[in-house]
Chain A
Amino acid sequence: MKPAPFTYFAPRSLDEALSLLGQYGSDAKPLAGGQSLVPLMNFRLAKPRYLIDLNHIPELAYIRGEDGFLVIGAMTRQFEAEASDDVGRLVPLLREALKLVGHPTIRHRGTIGGSLAHADPAAELPAAAVALGAEFVVRGPGGARIIPAAEFFVGPFTTVLGADELLTEVRVPATRPGTGYAFLELSRRHGDFAIVGVAALVDLGPDGRVERAALALCGVGPTPVRARQAEAALLGASPTEDRFREAGELAAGETNPASDIHALADYRRRVAAVLVRRALLAATERARKGG
């Protein structure tokens, strides 16, 4: 199908974009890479009366390291982040997750901020952001506010963003040297949305035991799921396959998947348990090698 008619704006600055959003509010949609919004418009599931194209705002596209954070402008293209040395050095988990987002052709247009603000429960980047403890800078008429990733996602395709607000920047704490990481997913074909995905970070102490573990899953609930019980159970544990199997079972119990055309809820839970175990093993292997 073809999109319903709309009025198109191409603001040249963030202030101009915010003023347009303030003027048109919920009748308007900001357009980032368009790899999710335009399909919805082509299906007429989304019929914004005003489309505010953010692709002409260079001040929203940047990547830099800053005081222990990787800082990414919301309009940074996914393929640029994937190729960035700063991303690979400071937050290697993010690079691993990015390689699983759609296909290279999709990542040429798709943006970091667009994927996060779209909040697809099966998407990789929201789960990675939650596992990494990222913070989102949001700007609106009242100025800027900073929202932790864990509080940003409230439901399928729903975030705390107001109709007059824009996600402008993502701040990811730099991963400690020596931290192991892994992003694993099961999908029908390479590049498809995940049936289940898992982001894992593991720190090993000097005694070789787990000092810290972070686990977040996608595809198993209305928002990314942080597996807190599994993380707590891993503290001080020996990094063995048996302990990771137990952590996988715990994590699966923390998920709340739905059944749909792609997979039944119970199948998703079983896959979650297996992927958590494998992601913990892969992350531990990297931690042993120094991250």
Chain B
Amino acid sequence: MADVHPVKVTVNGTTYEATVESRRLLVDFLRHDLGLVGTHVGCEHGVCGACTVIMNGRTVRSCLLFAVQADGAEIMTVEGLARDSQFHPLQEAFWEKQGLQCGFCTPGMLMRAYEFLKENPNPTEDEIREAIAGNLCRCTGYQFIIEAIQEAAARMAGTAGSR
């Protein structure tokens, strides 16, 4: 008999209740059980950062958490960035500055950049490099990603107070 547990999580403002097997990874729960496939599964051992989501206000690797551990948590995924069909400034900047090629690392990059710009709204290039050091881009498009984050920071400073 599989070991199952009830979980209740709020993802991007919507509350979900489900029953999960204890070995269900949070990232698989988001993708397979909730259908939120924006979060990507990369290495499955916490190295690549593709599965990065925000849980209770801080980035976490969703491949290193079991869904049962997220019971009661508030989670934000890449699907929560856009509002009312309007891209978040980070998404606009990634689009315009070619901050993605194949797009596999993008959800993790966006979630990490979202957290980072809240902590440091006006970062230097070196600070951005260090901030995304835990997120791997195998197309090696780092320079454009860095420029996109700089551009987003500038846009968000220009619309201070929006989000």
Residues in A lying within 8 Å of B, measured CB to CB = 1-8, 10, 34-35, 38-39, 41-43, 51, 53, 55, 79, 102-106, 108-109, 189-191
Contacts and interface: CB of A to CB of B under 8 A. Distances in A.
A266 to B, nearest CB: 27
Contacts of A8: 3, 5, 22, 66, 68
Given A105-B61, A109-B60, A191 B134 contact: yes
Given A1-B44, A2-B23, A105 B3 contact: no
Interface string B119-143: 0000000000011011000000000
Given A2-B28, A5-B2, A38-B46, A105 B134 contact: yes
Interface residues of B, number: 28
Contacts, number: 81
Contacts of B49: 103, 105
A120 to B, nearest CB: 13
Contacts of B153: none
B112 interface: yes
B155 interface: no
9 contacts: A6-B22, A7-B3, A7-B22, A8-B5, A38-B46, A42-B63, A43-B45, A105-B49, A109-B61
Nearest to B3: A7
B113 to A, nearest CB: 12
Contacts of B66: 8, 34, 38
Contact of B46 (A5, A10, A39, A190): A39
Contact of A190 (B3, B64, B133): B133
B3 A6 contact: yes
Contacts of A35: 46, 61, 64
B31 to A, nearest CB: 13
